[in-house]
Structure 1
């Protein structure tokens, strides 16, 4: 089986290294040719354009920037697609784009399967991390061995096309929020003369990540009348954070918006509810 891989960024190039290490024949292309050429030493066949890279390939993998880039590259590469070729797109894209491409390539006689990932470059090299799929379950079942070999765990979210794209974006939203929250925590710690290493010591012992499933369950169960931390008290703490940051001449990115949402829910009479009531409208 011949594979093509289009897009040799950090993720794509390490996917290719892992494939080559397992004995796969891989044809590669990248807009910046030097990134593709760097894989020749590992056994990749490098081509100057996407069409040539796709010629004769049974499977075409894609890791690109966005919807527009995926559409542009696949359109160019399609001139070299063999009959019945399968496209696996690991790009983080819009739900709409994933759905439209599934239909578009099906009409042209090809299988397009969106398979975004929660994987960094090292995960791609080690075949660890998580890959997400949804859509045609017959297609997913048939190609599950190929996709599973690329990742630590393949998560199948059912028959609805585009759902994997939506879950990927939701997960990335949480990662962005987490990083912004950590930036606020570091900024507030700095105001109080606390070193980043001391904050790391706290989180190494108090594992907030382990609390996420329980917190999400509390929100989805809508158990807001059983508070473990009342909204009024959480808002008081947010006020302390904002005051300390202002006195220290530091701007916080996340807390001002959270405080505003808290104020709105308190005004609606939810001050004595669990503070997670601020997520109620998201259900």
Structure 2
């Protein structure tokens, strides 16, 4: 039997998918109505988290943050049986994942952090990506179970917090990527270019293939053989800003990037590759 704690968009669709595969699933949610709604799909709802996990081999949880994970698991622990495996899909801090792994081991239970790059539809269809790291014997023991829930299970090795770190890195990219799209669409509106034409551009010119090479170049710290000089990149950035300001269409991140470019140009790096703007944070970080 499986217990699932947290019936948000991901949790509810994970539950529906598990039920469709013939599993018995007990469910709990802080707002009880969300758990009760899953009864129509065959889940067994409970008002108390400890009752929901009683007898469960796997206890899955996906809630808001570190504090919520800790609070809900403490509520549920009275129902854990010997051998219960806790599988946490919540996006949390790396430190939190490490601390929970240690804490629950001391309590006699296995805890595995398994965050996901999956939307609600992915959870329902068992597609997308699930990340794990830590005790490889534990991962091997739950691999078949987790593989039924996702399109691809990514194992990042023996560090307990590595999966949490990789999830945060991925989400950081998604946030920056989305802000970049917003700025791009702001420019397209400023230039009276229909969004359909923007879509057509990216259907034919796909910059996704540049990501790996760009990361490698920026991580190397070598900028002396530019593919796009900083001076020229700054010139183009000025055109973006001029066009959007003239149209009254503010941008989110481009003005900040322009200021960082100016800083490096003032240092004498205008003829270097424009990726030098990330040097201090990537190659030469000033850690406390």
TM > 0.5 fold call: yes
| Residues 23-42 of structure 1: CA deviation (Å, up to 9, x unaligned) | 11111011122221221122
The CA deviation at 1:163 is: 1.3
2:197 paired residue number: 198
2:286 paired residue number: none
Alignment length, in residue pairs?
A: 282
1:51 aligns with 2:50: yes
1:161 paired residue number: 160
1:78 aligns with 2:60: no
1:14 paired residue number: 13
The CA deviation at 1:46 is: 0.8
> What does 1:1-283 correspond to in 2, within 5 Å?
2-281=1-280, 282-283=282-283
Runs ≥4 residues deviating over 6 A: none
| Residues 217-271 of structure 1: CA deviation (Å, up to 9, x unaligned) | 2222334222111111001111111111221122111101111111122222221
Q: Distance in 2 between matches of 1:257 and 1:209?
A: 23
| Residues 126-147 of structure 1: CA deviation (Å, up to 9, x unaligned) | 1111111111111112211111
The CA deviation at 1:101 is: 0.6
Bigger drift between 209-218 and 24-33 goes to 209-218
**Normalising by the residue count of structure 2, what TM-score does the alignment of the two structures yield?**
0.95
The CA deviation at 1:11 is: 0.6
Q: Distance in 1 between matches of 2:161 and 2:57?
A: 23
Unaligned runs of 5+ in 1: none
Q: Distance in 1 between matches of 2:190 and 2:155?
A: 45
Q: Distance in 2 between matches of 1:59 and 1:78?
A: 13
Q: Distance in 2 between matches of 1:148 and 1:226?
A: 44
Bigger drift between 235-244 and 32-41 goes to 32-41
Q: C-alpha root-mean-square deviation of aligned residues, in Å?
A: 1.2
Q: Secondary structure at the match of 2:248?
A: coil
